[in-house]
Chains A and B, each alone.
Chain A
Amino acid sequence: MSELKSSMTESVMDALGDVKDPEIASVSILDLGMVHEVDVTDDKVRISVLPTFSGCPALHIIERDIKKAVENVEGITSAEVKFVFTPSWTTDRITPEGRERLKEFGISPPPANHVMGEPWEIDCPYCGSTYVTMENIFGPTACRSILYCKSCKNPFEAMKPVADMG
């Protein structure tokens, strides 16, 4: 990779760090591990993105926000966004920073290495207690569940674990 190309890619990545999940304002699409590939050719960039949930109504907004952010990068004139399903987005793609930011937002991050079909542990994002109850495996958005912390008596949300089922 030429020096110019690599510095352009870096600028694009910086811009992507400012694109937030419209439904979780503190977390960027990089934090969530949604960006798969960034390919800069001259003044054009192609970005492939992994959707979290297929029926997520935020996808169109994310696509628009990515284009807007990246086309503002100096030297880039057009950005193409493509949603791809391989590799599958899984919750272990969420970065350590992403996990921290989810907690700040009151959402407990999913276990890092979940195996579908097996039980999982969810800690309260506020007090860290494991003394919690699952109120509803489904929540306000497709990717979240609703829980209650018996220790600090706070309701909270958690991201559903999603693992590749092979």
Chain B
Amino acid sequence: MTQETLKPQEKKALIELLYQLADDDFLLAFRGSEWLGLAPHIEEDVAFSSISQDMMGHANLYYNLLEILGEGEADRIAHLRSPNQFRNAIILEEVNGPGTYLKEPDYDWAFTVVRNYFYAVHKHIRLDSLRHSSYEPLAEAARKIMTEQYYHLMHWEIWFKQLMTSTDEATLRMTAAIQKVWKDFGGVLTLGPYYEDIVKANFIDDENVMKKRWNNKIEAVLKEVGASYPGEPRMERGNGRNGVHTEDLKQATSTLSEVYATNPATGW
């Protein structure tokens, strides 16, 4: 399928899917960038900022696909939407912890590792499906992103496994983080209200198939590190794919767009 052969209903579903993909990467990349200078050690600072930069690039690729479909200029899509227009999962917009990166950041590294690892596992599953997408421009983008995301997944898997099997304190903190992430990670695994149209057009695999892949993988990893699988992840604070969000998203988008919004006509 190309832009020209999309039926109106398919186009609507594709646009929804692209917003989900873009906004997921965009918000988590932003939360990652807030760690700059604060990561546990200098090598992690280098690695994490590189990963966040890649992810911002991935969001940009998807926003460009939206631009081609008539959603407006990519920069404007990223910077000038109101929170209810965002389609990212709620868990990805959550702050890293109390404080801000400028003032008394008391960020939670365990939460960051768990959230990023769980997300990276799902992102890999999603890309693996998207590279066969019926919409060729999306399949091409996915094949590109996959080569980079490979290193992200590897990175977070090492952190996850090592912290889960190190000191008692680490295990305790990681277990608490898993419980916290679990409450809302269901939001990442859903394709939202346009699910049926998205799947019918073969843009991506059925969400239930991908959910099962994710659950199987995480269950196996948890078993490997001696932790128990807590059952299906939930969606306690609502579905971000419906435009439901928390105050944390407002904080993220207003910080992100502070400069751009002062004068959108300028090239930043």
* Residues of A that sit less than 8 Å from B by CB: 51, 53-57, 85-86, 88, 90, 116-117, 135-142, 146, 160, 162-166
B155 at the interface (CB under 8 A from A): yes
* Residues of B that sit less than 8 Å from A by CB: 43, 46-47, 50-51, 53-58, 60-61, 131, 140-141, 143-148, 150-151, 154-155
Partner of B57, one of A53, A90, A138: A53
- Asked, given contacts A136-B43, A138-B50, whether A55 binds B154 with beta carbons under 8 Å apart, the answer is no
Please indicate the chain B residues that have their CB under 8 angstroms from the CB of A54 in the complex. Answer: 54, 57-58, 60-61, 144-145, 148
A116 CB to nearest B CB, Å: 6
B190 CB to nearest A CB, Å: 25
Please indicate the chain A residues that have their CB under 8 angstroms from the CB of B53 in the complex. Answer: 55, 57, 142
- Cross-chain contact B151 with A138 (CB below 8 angstroms): yes
Alpha-carbon distance A155/B220, docked complex (angstroms)? 38
Please indicate the chain B residues that have their CB under 8 angstroms from the CB of A140 in the complex. Answer: 46
Alpha-carbon distance A163/B101, docked complex (angstroms)? 36
Instruction: Identify whether the interface residues of A are mostly helix, strand, loop, or mixed.
Output: loop
Please indicate the chain B residues that have their CB under 8 angstroms from the CB of A146 in the complex. Answer: 43, 46
Please indicate the chain A residues that have their CB under 8 angstroms from the CB of B56 in the complex. Answer: 55
- Cross-chain contact B148 with A142 (CB below 8 angstroms): yes
- Cross-chain contact B51 with A138 (CB below 8 angstroms): yes
- Cross-chain contact B146 with A165 (CB below 8 angstroms): yes
Partner of A116, one of B57, B141, B145, B150: B150
Identity of the chain B residue whose Cβ is nearest the Cβ of A162 in the assembled complex: B147
Partner of B147, one of A86, A88, A137: A88
Please indicate the chain B residues that have their CB under 8 angstroms from the CB of A138 in the complex. Answer: 46-47, 50-51, 151, 155
- Cross-chain contact A85 with B47 (CB below 8 angstroms): no
- Cross-chain contact B140 with A86 (CB below 8 angstroms): yes
- Cross-chain contact A85 with B143 (CB below 8 angstroms): yes
Q: Which 3 A-B pairs have the closest CB atoms?
A: A55-B57, A138-B47, A54-B57
Please indicate the chain A residues that have their CB under 8 angstroms from the CB of B47 in the complex. Answer: 136-138
Identity of the chain B residue whose Cβ is nearest the Cβ of A90 in the assembled complex: B147
Q: List 13 A-B contacts (CB under 8 A).
A: A51-B144, A54-B58, A55-B53, A55-B60, A57-B53, A85-B140, A90-B147, A138-B51, A139-B50, A142-B54, A160-B151, A162-B147, A165-B131
A153 CB to nearest B CB, Å: 19
Please indicate the chain A residues that have their CB under 8 angstroms from the CB of B51 in the complex. Answer: 138
Please indicate the chain B residues that have their CB under 8 angstroms from the CB of A166 in the complex. Answer: 131, 143
Identity of the chain A residue whose Cβ is nearest the Cβ of B54 in the assembled complex: A55
Partner of B50, one of A85, A117, A142, A162: A142
- Cross-chain contact A139 with B54 (CB below 8 angstroms): no
Alpha-carbon distance A162/B61, docked complex (angstroms)? 18
Alpha-carbon distance A142/B43, docked complex (angstroms)? 14
Please indicate the chain B residues that have their CB under 8 angstroms from the CB of A116 in the complex. Answer: 147, 150
A83 CB to nearest B CB, Å: 9
- Cross-chain contact A135 with B143 (CB below 8 angstroms): no
Please indicate the chain A residues that have their CB under 8 angstroms from the CB of B150 in the complex. Answer: 116-117, 165
Alpha-carbon distance A53/B148, docked complex (angstroms)? 7
A55 CB to nearest B CB, Å: 2
Alpha-carbon distance A90/B150, docked complex (angstroms)? 14
Alpha-carbon distance A42/B143, docked complex (angstroms)? 35
Given A54-B61, A137-B151, A138-B51, 12 more pairs with CB closer than 8 A: A54-B54, A55-B56, A86-B143, A137-B154, A138-B155, A139-B50, A142-B50, A142-B57, A160-B151, A165-B131, A165-B143, A165-B146
- Cross-chain contact A135 with B43 (CB below 8 angstroms): yes
- Asked, given contacts A54-B148, A142-B50, whether A164 binds B43 with beta carbons under 8 Å apart, the answer is no
